[in-house]
Homo-oligomer: A and B are copies of this chain.
Amino acid sequence: MRIEALDDVETTRILREQSIGRLGCIADSEPYVVPVNFYFDGRDIFIHSLPGRKIEALRKTGKGCLQVDEIRDTFNWRSVLLFGNYEEIVDERIRHESMKEIFAKTPSMTPVESALMDRSQLPIVFCLRIYRVTGIGESW
């Protein structure tokens, strides 16, 4: 049994291969966690979202974390936790490119977003500019 911190190669692999993570933020002094689809460009994390409590919280605090795991069973799991500064993508060209990358990775928007898109309301695209990453894993 090995218990170990993940190295950069393994952390990067997990972030590139996975597309669902759990976004954490602080909303009204409470921790707040939601599942999200994300895209990792090798440096930062891109996420699309509807306006709502998490966006308000991220705008206010300027910080979020993303937890991404691979859990095969109790004895084979890896978990990455990264911390990033929140940056909303407002430049239309970069926004469009980011959306394309997110959708290439996760072929559909969430249904909530699809429904809104039908009514020409665009989801918010934001980036977590990573400033710290930790990873731990376990295997036999």
Contact = CB atoms under 8 A, between A and B. Distances in A.
A25 interface: yes
A94 to B, nearest CB: 24
A3 interface: yes
Interface residues of A, number: 36
Interface stretch (A6-14, A27-35, A38-46, A119-127): A27-35
B3 A115 contact: yes
Nearest to A75: B111
Contacts of A29: 26
Most buried by B among A29, A34, A74: A74
Given A24-B24, A71-B20, A106-B74, A32 B65 contact: yes
A104 interface: no
A25 B31 contact: yes
A83 B63 CA distance: 20
A69 to B, nearest CB: 5
Contacts of A3: 111-112, 115
Closest 3 CB pairs of A and B: A24-B31, A33-B67, A24-B33
Interface of A: 1, 3, 20, 22, 24-26, 29-35, 63-67, 69, 71, 74-75, 77, 79, 81, 83, 106-112, 115, 138
